[in-house]
Structure 1
Amino acid sequence: MSDNEYDDDVFDHLELDDDDVFDDIDEDELVALERPAKRAKTEASEVERNLALGDSHIALAERILSNQFGFKAFRHEQAAAIQHILKGDNVLVIFPTGAGKSLCYQIPAIAFPELDGPEGTREPAEAGVTIVVSPLIALMKDQVDVLKKRGIPAESIDSSKTWEELQMIYRALARSQLRILYCAPERLNNEGFVETVKRIPGGIRLLAVDEAHCVSEWGHSFRPDYLKVARFVDEIKAGRVVCLTATATPKVAEDICKAFSIQPAYVFRTTPYRPNVSLDIMLGFHVKSERDKRFEELFRFLRANPGPTLIYVAMQQQSEIHAKVLAAQGFKAAPFHAGLKTEVKQRTQDDFLSGKVDIVCATIAFGMGIDKPDIRNVVHWDLSNTVEEYSQQIGRAGRDGKPSKCMFYLAPSAFYLREVFARGDLPSRSSLAGLVFDIFKEALGVPVGGVFKTNHYRQQKDFDIRPSPLSIIYATLELHFGFIRATTPEYSTYKFEAMPSYFGIIKQHKSLVIDAIYKNAKKKLKWYDLDVYEAASYKNTGLTRGDIVAKLNQLDQQGHIRLKASGLMNRYIVQKALPRTHEDKEKVVDKLYKDLTDREKDALQRCKEVMSLITGSKCFALSLAQHFGMGLPKDKEKCGHCSFCLTGKPIQPPKLTVTPTMASSIQKVLEATNVRDDPRFLARVAYGIRSPRVTALKLDKSPVFRSLAHHDFEVSQSKSLLDYC
């Protein structure tokens, strides 16, 4: 399909021809069919109205596109997607990075009040809001800044906001003064936020799920919190949903559609191929010093290809080393990684956008949603985790349509680094068993339908399990076993500071909930402590915990109190009888461990897919498009400008020599710690993989940490260390 064309197949099932309705039916049957005939005519009229309405929707969308965003026409499948969103359909948009996914929810958000119109059923004060679920603060800030410059009222709720800023946002929501609100998926776990959203005048007109591939359990970037987004849609009764991603394989797209009830006809996608971007591969070398040959190659590349550049590295330390080395060579470079302070990351992002910094040496987070069309180069210093991640990152180059380069330095140690990341998420079976038994212990005595609470942070430390696999374990107990269902977490402690207007509110508003808060709040110096359960049971008035929390948040939003909530407790509803015997619990552990082991194998296989892509006997651009179930334009077999097309030869992958595991090396690891109950834990230390227990024992600071980096992990774990344990 060419740009600006609609997906005609979407409307095929709606076409009716009145002249053919009664073909092959005799007159005696007409009486019996009178009502169906009338219904068919009614449906035909409805189709005509829908098509006419669709035309008016597109006319409105095109006017907003021109007036608010300064574009002359829609690209790709934007128009078709927006048309169906305005009509009320749930939609999936799969466009490559930089292809204009955000317009697919921004334009509807602006259009809704106009669609209501003077003759509509909604008052201006009930225009509702569009909520955008996005995983990164940087993306939210950039989008909000751009929208505000265009005169579009938008805000984000995130951890960087001050108390005063949050009050302004909540007041604007209550007055229907915002069109778009950005938040992280984790925000949907905040009971105060959920209760507030339920009360927004006009409701949620549209929920946009950015990075929607995170919904898929077997996607390259599965995040269990995204599973709760679909439930959030039902809880807040969102009008419609648009899911957006640049990296959905056919299987992942199917998972997204299932989660959000999206019909196959309402999936709009376009090829990731960009003719102005060349994909190049260069064999790299081990970097042992700042003057190493691989750095010299990088210097030459950057001098030959000047312009804004992103250099992706695997580790935070690399980010800072690269920026330092490049700065010493006269390049304007800066590091960016999760370990930097928020204000430092923000300054780097702003400097890159404004041109004060030419090169950002970053880990994977940087670049998500960054609106910089003139990025000339994207350099991969290390192997990407997945083909999807690689595709997303190179998609940031050359959005302005001008020639751009993507260089991949393939070093012998590349796969080792990714193996470290992949193997870090699989706990030992004994750790998993400890966690599962602990979960069932927490739920002991809770009837079906009842709620139990857990503290994930404690369980991470107690059972040496990282946050990501811990979340996946809970999600598996819910999705695959059906034992539990995650519900809104709650804070164990609520405190508030009373503002001068608080006591005036107490006197003026004689309501049960206000009285319950006032009578049960206990002052301790500056702050009041409140047991929300105690307040809810005040005088047996029938108040709920939700009533108390909602009023506290309202008082906070109105500036009458300054609220603090702490002690996050995850809450789960028992869905069916839980295993009671040791044998039944062990069966659950076995199934969970197999699932986690399969995930580790899958993560390792994804790394191999990246290697296969860049070392295969095929055009890189074609291989990339085929990974997502598509091809090159006009069914071409070659792009004509990638490394393979230019040389006609595949890149030979570098070989990394695996050192045989020696008893003396293992003995040094054993001497560094008295841990003997977990061979996988010892293998993690030797291989250089951090975990909560490794960090707590400070073994990541020991000389033995990463001492067997170039050995076979499976052998280290399953053979030698077991012999010594």
Structure 2
Amino acid sequence: MSGIDKTLHQVFGYADFRPGQRPVIETLIAGRSAAAIFPTGSGKSLCYQLPALHLPHLTLVISPLLALMQDQLSFLRRHGIPAASIDSNQSRDETRAIMEDVAQGEIRILMISVERLKNERFWAFIRRVPLSLMVVDEAHCISEWGHNFRPDYLKLPDARRELGIPQVLLLTATATPKVIDDMCARFTIEACDVTATGFYRPNLDLQVAPVPAEQRPRRLVDWLRPRLTQATPPACIVYVTLQQTAERIAAYLQAAGLPAVAYHAGLDAETRAGLQDEFMAGRSPCIVATIAFGMGIDKADIRAVVHYDLPKSVENYSQEIGRAGRDGAPAECLMLAGGDHLNVLENFAYGDTPERDAIARVIAALPSAGQAWEFTLTTLSRDSDIRPLPLKTLLVQLELRGVIRPRYSYFAEYRFQLLEAAESLAGRFQGERRAFVEAILAASSRARTWHSLDFAALERLGAERGLDTSRRRVITALDYFVDKGWMVLESRQMTEVFDVVARVDDATLITALHDYFSDKEDAEIARLHAMLALFETEDCLTRRLADWFGDARAPERCGHCSACRGEVARLPAPPLPTPLDERDPLALCAPLRALLAEADEADAATPALLARFLCGLTSPRLIRLKARRLAGFAALEAYPYAEVATWLTRRLGQ
């Protein structure tokens, strides 16, 4: 019996590997990097959990969601595997204890979010820790050609090189062939080290039975009633797009006498955790949820997944139905949504496209070539009126075009509270080290019990006294003082620092960036329409879904989807709204224009901003002005954003 087989039996208690796991694990044990493309719930996590016990140093797992970490941590701890996560919900003492265990080699697996790598203090710590393997969970997030693209993921190849991590494992459940090629190219993973097990799930019954919006609540009740009124109701998830829809539909089901609760990101963390625990324990069989629910939910016996609204993409649909029937027993996946929900999803895509003028404001903020560019993301988002996520994408594009290069991120503000007298702290050291500590204390202004560190003043003191007061040394020293229990430390105001490498013609650059975002917008809209075409197919739905992901192993006709049963779907179109030309744009926009004028921002009333307002799409400016409370907000949410923007441009003469 091989070493990995012994570990599988003795540590994890499994008799054999699931499909695809062995080749991935053997590749890692052999010292190469690998990628695993397995459907949701088919055992991707074991592909790093088992090798971590055989590799000499720490396995660092990058995961996009706290829920994913907590679920996997619970599993590892049940099996006696030393693992931990560092996240923003922990106290400073908890984080410090975990970092100490990592430094001592007592932790085999450490899980973090991708944003943690931008934390100055964490980076100073982790670069001193020997690392064997970087695991990138939800690795499709690195590709601009896939769904859920996250700009910060593009930095992971550079982070891997800087940290000297010899091996990488990429994990995803939803990646098209183009996305797989893209993410593997970024980490130089050979095609022979990519394992894909296929997307065909013979136990899932796929049903597309769309109904008009006004009939959908009753149809949902009729479909759920025979299932949820059983003596032991099966676990069901009903997916919706908006938080208010989750609340409304859960209330409707409750009024019909069915056990249902709403779950969405607008609920506080304690409430969400309680709802999830109730669902996992089987005490709350039906969750009506936005996509905030599901990631990291390792419940094997979910018997039904219903899409009340359209999913955001084919990939999202595959991921969400993949939560049903993980135990291999039959499960049902019902699509009720029709084309009447398409405008909402299209407007999400439009809402992430920055205006040309907004891009110009970012470019105008760039200093000359050869200079450093410092900013906080919050401030730049506010000043440019670009949402944080597309703003991050814009910054990455400036990097890829050779305009800027990241130097580092730092907290603009550090403050500390001494737990002993300043003289006592300095007295713990001798010679140059004592002079260094005294300089830190001298460069810190005190307000009652808290000291605020002035790095500029410290740099001047260092130069005067001949001391090394480099930022890295100072941060390392402060963390050491905290570890020893000599001070409490707080850091705030994350600041990004980039070198401006080159300045090109601004107009050309702005046009190129605007075209890039327009192309992404077109691609997102095309993905939505490809999803509608999938649901209306006359061919086997299961086969079409497998084809999307490049899986040729599914049967031509599965026999367990609505298309195979001859139930070809025709998604109902939304009712035609009143023609825009019969609406009064001046009256609709008047409340927002008055508010902008009052704030001395009348010039910001562009057709694009007004269209966002009328379609119910937010932006940093609209959030800051609390425009959601105004009459007219979302008054035209039934119309496509692009159509509203064109209409406003024509009618308002801008």
TM-score by length of 2: 0.93
Q: Which 5+ residue runs of structure 2 have no aligned equivalent?
A: 594-601
Aligned 8 A contact 1:286 1:412 in 2: no
Distance 1:235 1:276 in 2: 45
In the TM superposition, residue 485 of structure 1 has moved relative to its aligned partner by 1.8
1:112 paired with 2:55, answer yes
- Deviation string 1:421-466 (CA, Å, 9 cap, x unpaired) is 111111222222122212x2xx23x52xx53211221122222211
Residue matched to 1:210: 137
1:552 paired with 2:478, answer yes
The code of the aligned residue for 1:357 comes to S
- Deviation string 1:237-266 (CA, Å, 9 cap, x unpaired) is 112110100111111111111111111111
In the TM superposition, residue 298 of structure 1 has moved relative to its aligned partner by 4.6
Distance 2:361 2:379 in 1: 13
1:190 paired with 2:107, answer no
Residue matched to 1:518: 441
Residue matched to 2:386: 465
Aligned 8 A contact 2:211 2:571 in 1: no
The code of the aligned residue for 1:169 comes to I
Residue matched to 2:611: 683
Residue matched to 2:193: 266
Distance 1:233 1:560 in 2: 33
Aligned 8 A contact 1:134 1:185 in 2: yes
In the TM superposition, residue 567 of structure 1 has moved relative to its aligned partner by 1.3
Distance 2:84 2:422 in 1: 27
In the TM superposition, residue 557 of structure 1 has moved relative to its aligned partner by 3.7
Aligned 8 A contact 1:170 1:557 in 2: no
2:178 aligned to which of 239, 251, 271: 251
Aligned 8 A contact 2:36 2:44 in 1: yes
| Change in CA separation of 1:694 and 1:543 when aligned onto 2, cut-off 3 Å | closer
1:493 aligned to which of 413, 433, 447: 413
| Change in CA separation of 1:256 and 1:696 when aligned onto 2, cut-off 3 Å | same
Aligned 8 A contact 2:228 2:259 in 1: no
Aligned 8 A contact 2:341 2:574 in 1: no
559-568 vs 255-264, which deviates more? 559-568
| Change in CA separation of 1:530 and 1:207 when aligned onto 2, cut-off 3 Å | same
2:550 aligned to which of 629, 633, 639: 629
Residue matched to 1:425: 352
In the TM superposition, residue 501 of structure 1 has moved relative to its aligned partner by 9.4
1:578 paired with 2:578, answer no
Distance 1:325 1:563 in 2: 49
Distance 1:603 1:557 in 2: 48
In the TM superposition, residue 304 of structure 1 has moved relative to its aligned partner by 7.4
Residue matched to 2:85: 156
| Change in CA separation of 1:656 and 1:61 when aligned onto 2, cut-off 3 Å | same
Distance 2:252 2:227 in 1: 13
In the TM superposition, residue 673 of structure 1 has moved relative to its aligned partner by 2.5
Distance 1:208 1:348 in 2: 29
The code of the aligned residue for 1:652 comes to R
The code of the aligned residue for 1:477 comes to L
In the TM superposition, residue 694 of structure 1 has moved relative to its aligned partner by 2.3
1:237 paired with 2:164, answer yes
Distance 1:503 1:181 in 2: 37
Per chain length, whose mean CA-contact separation is higher, i.e. which structure has more relative contact order (CA < 8 Å, sep 6+)? 2
TM-score by length of 1: 0.84
In the TM superposition, residue 416 of structure 1 has moved relative to its aligned partner by 1.4
Aligned 8 A contact 1:273 1:625 in 2: yes
In the TM superposition, residue 395 of structure 1 has moved relative to its aligned partner by 0.8
Residue matched to 1:51: none
- Structural mapping, 1:371-410, within 5 Å: 371-410=298-337
Aligned 8 A contact 2:228 2:285 in 1: no
1:133 paired with 2:56, answer no
Structure 1 segments of 4 or more deviating over 4 A?
500-505
In the TM superposition, residue 505 of structure 1 has moved relative to its aligned partner by 5.2
1:225 paired with 2:225, answer no
Distance 1:183 1:402 in 2: 33
Residue matched to 1:535: 458
Distance 1:316 1:499 in 2: 45
- Deviation string 1:312-343 (CA, Å, 9 cap, x unpaired) is 11011122223333334444433222222122
Residue matched to 2:631: 703
Aligned 8 A contact 1:496 1:528 in 2: yes
1:693 paired with 2:621, answer yes
485-494 vs 618-627, which deviates more? 485-494
| Change in CA separation of 1:238 and 1:625 when aligned onto 2, cut-off 3 Å | same
Distance 1:257 1:503 in 2: 55
295-304 vs 147-156, which deviates more? 295-304
| Change in CA separation of 1:353 and 1:559 when aligned onto 2, cut-off 3 Å | farther
1:300 paired with 2:243, answer no
Aligned 8 A contact 1:669 1:682 in 2: no
In the TM superposition, residue 89 of structure 1 has moved relative to its aligned partner by 0.7
The code of the aligned residue for 2:587 comes to K
560-569 vs 501-510, which deviates more? 501-510
SS state at 2:15 partner = coil
- Deviation string 1:601-633 (CA, Å, 9 cap, x unpaired) is 111111112111111121111111110111234
Residue matched to 2:568: 650
SS state at 2:262 partner = strand
- Structural mapping, 1:474-493, within 5 Å: 474-479=395-400, 481-493=401-413
Structure whose alpha-carbon radius of gyration is higher = 1
Aligned 8 A contact 1:464 1:693 in 2: yes
Residue matched to 1:661: 580
Distance 2:375 2:611 in 1: 29
The code of the aligned residue for 2:569 comes to I
1:86 aligned to which of 21, 25, 29: 29
1:606 aligned to which of 524, 527, 535: 527
Distance 1:488 1:98 in 2: 37
Residue matched to 1:333: 260
357-366 vs 95-104, which deviates more? 357-366
The code of the aligned residue for 2:228 comes to R
Aligned 8 A contact 1:666 1:721 in 2: no
- Structural mapping, 1:420-459, within 5 Å: 420-438=347-365, 440=366, 443-444=367-368, 447=370, 450-459=371-380
| Change in CA separation of 1:499 and 1:284 when aligned onto 2, cut-off 3 Å | farther
SS state at 1:410 partner = coil
Distance 2:155 2:421 in 1: 37
Distance 2:557 2:195 in 1: 25
Q: Aligned-residue CA RMSD in angstroms?
A: 2.1
In the TM superposition, residue 691 of structure 1 has moved relative to its aligned partner by 1.6
1:506 paired with 2:426, answer yes
Aligned 8 A contact 1:430 1:678 in 2: no
The code of the aligned residue for 1:509 comes to F
Distance 1:665 1:257 in 2: 52
Q: Which 5+ residue runs of structure 1 have no aligned equivalent?
A: 1-57, 114-127
1:640 aligned to which of 542, 545, 559: 559
In the TM superposition, residue 355 of structure 1 has moved relative to its aligned partner by 1.9
Residue matched to 2:210: 283
1:591 paired with 2:516, answer no
Residue matched to 2:597: none
In the TM superposition, residue 199 of structure 1 has moved relative to its aligned partner by 1.3
Aligned 8 A contact 2:225 2:258 in 1: no
| Change in CA separation of 1:207 and 1:513 when aligned onto 2, cut-off 3 Å | farther
Aligned 8 A contact 1:502 1:560 in 2: no
